[in-house]
Amino acid sequence: MHTHIIPEKLPRFTDKFGYGDFIYLDHHKPGFAKMMKGHKFFREIEANCWDPQIRIDEYAGNKTQVQVVCTIPVMFSYWAKPADTLELSRFLNDDLAQLVADHPKHYIGLGTVPMQDTELAIQELRRCKEIGLVGIQIGSNINDLNLNEPQFFPIFEACQELGMAVLVHPWNMMGFDSMEKYWLPWLVGMPAETSRAICSLIFGGVFERLPKLRCNFAHAGGSFLPTIGRIEHGYNCRPDLVAVDNDVNPREYLGKFWVDCITHDPVMLKYILDTVGTNKVTLGSDYPFPLGDLDIGAFIEEMNLDKEVVEGIFCDNTLDWLDLDKKDYL
Ligand SMILES: [Zn+2]
C-alpha cells in the first residue's frame, strides 16, 4: 500500500511556468533516468520507477499481485503557484488513472492535490475520485505548516465526505539543512516528520472531529508509536501546552488510524502490532527505493505470527483502509 511511481515522460514544467525547480526526467541511457530538480541532478532512478510491466514482474517475484501507487513526494510541489501545482497534479493523477484502467488487477491509485490552496485541493480531490483513484497522498507538513492548520480542515472534511483515503508521507524534512551529512534527513527527519503529522492531527482535534477519516501513516508512523509514552506523559503533565485544542488522551486514537509495516525490524513490528492493533498494520514497501522493504514482507513471514494476522497485514487491512472489496482483485 505504499509504493512510488512516476510518469516516464514529464513536461518541462520549469520552462513552461518560467520559474522554480520542478522535476523532470533525463533518460540518459536505456533503463535509467536522471531525476533533475530544475536543472540540478537530484537522484538516478531505474525503469521500475515508471514501467508498469517491469513493476508487475518484480512484484510477482515477491508473490505480491497488487500495488497501491502514488507519486514521489518530491513531486508534491506545494511551494509553487497553486494553479501550477494543480496543473502538475492533474498530469500525475491522469497518468495514475490510466495505469489503473490499463491494469485493474495490479494497480490502485492515490492522487496528489495542491494542498497549499484549499479550494483547488478539494476541486482536484473530487476529480481524483471521478477518475477512479481511491484516495490521496499528502505531505507531513505543507510548506512548514502543520496539518492541523484551519486551512487544511475542509480538505480532510472532503476526504471523509467523499470516502477518499489519505496516506501521509514525510517530506520537506525539518532540520534538513542543518543535518545533511549521513543521510540524516531520511534517517532522523522522516520519522520525526511523521510523528509531527500524527501529533498535529490528534492535538489539533482533526481525528476527533472527523471520526470516519481513513488515514494511513508511512514507515509505521515514524517515531510516533515508539514515543507514545512520552507523548501521553506530556499530555498528562502539561495539558496547558498539549491539550489546548483537544482534551482527549492521545492514546485514545491508537487503533483509529493505519500505519504501514516498514520497520525493517521484527521486534519493532511486534510492538507496532501490539500498539495499534493487528487490523491496522498494512503491507508497505516504499518500492522501488533502496530505503524501502524491497524483499517485500519477507521478515513478516519469519515472525511466526498467526495466519490471520499475516493475511491482515498482507491484504485485508489495506482493503479495509481503502474501503475496497477483495473479490475485485481475484
Ligand atoms: Zn515512500
pLDDT digits 0-9 by tens, 115-153 = 999 999 999 999 999 999 999 999 999 999 999 999 999
In a domain, 11, yes or no: no
Q: What is the structure's pLDDT at 70?
A: 98
As a whole number of angstroms, the distance between CA 80 and CA 17 comes to 10
- CA-based nearest residue to 121, from 78, 70, 65: 78
Region 58-84: what's the mean pLDDT? Answer: 97
The per-residue pLDDT for 28 is 94
Q: Is residue 6 part of a domain?
A: no
Which pLDDT score is estimated for 38?
A: 84
Task: Tell me the C-alpha to C-alpha distance, in Å, between residue 57 and each of 43, 52, 217, 222, 315.
Answer: 24, 9, 27, 30, 19
Summarize the confidence of residues 254-265 as an average pLDDT: 97
Is residue 309 a part of any domain in this protein? yes
Q: Reduced to 3 states, what is the DSSP secondary structure of residue 253?
A: helix
**Is residue 84's pLDDT more than 90?**
yes
Classify residue 39: in a domain, yes or no: no
Q: Is the dihedral of CA 203, 206, 212, 214 positive or negative?
A: negative
Domain CATH number, residue 181: 3.20.20.140
Domain that holds residue 111: 47-329
Distance 309 CA to ligand 1 centre (A): 23
Question: What pLDDT was estimated at residue 39?
Answer: 84
Residues whose CB falls within 8 Å of the CB of residue 244, separated by 6 or more in sequence, listed in order: 203
pLDDT at 144: 97
Write the DSSP symbol of residue 8. S
How many folded domains does the chain comprise?
1
- Dist. CA 209–CA 275, nearest whole Å: 23
pLDDT digits (tens, 9 = 90+) for 177-211: 999 999 999 999 999 999 999 999 999 999 999 99
What pLDDT shows up at residue 271?
Answer: 98
Centre of ligand 1 from the C-alpha of residue 59, in Å: 16
Any residues with CB less than 8 A from the CB of 90 and at least 6 apart, and which? 124, 127
Average pLDDT over residues 305-312: 97
| Å from CA of 243 to ligand 1 middle | 31
Domain-embedded: residue 168: yes
CA of 46 to the centre of ligand 1 (A): 16
**Ligand 1 centroid to residue 310 C-alpha, Å:** 22
Residue 169 included in any domain: yes
Mean pLDDT score, 245-256: 98
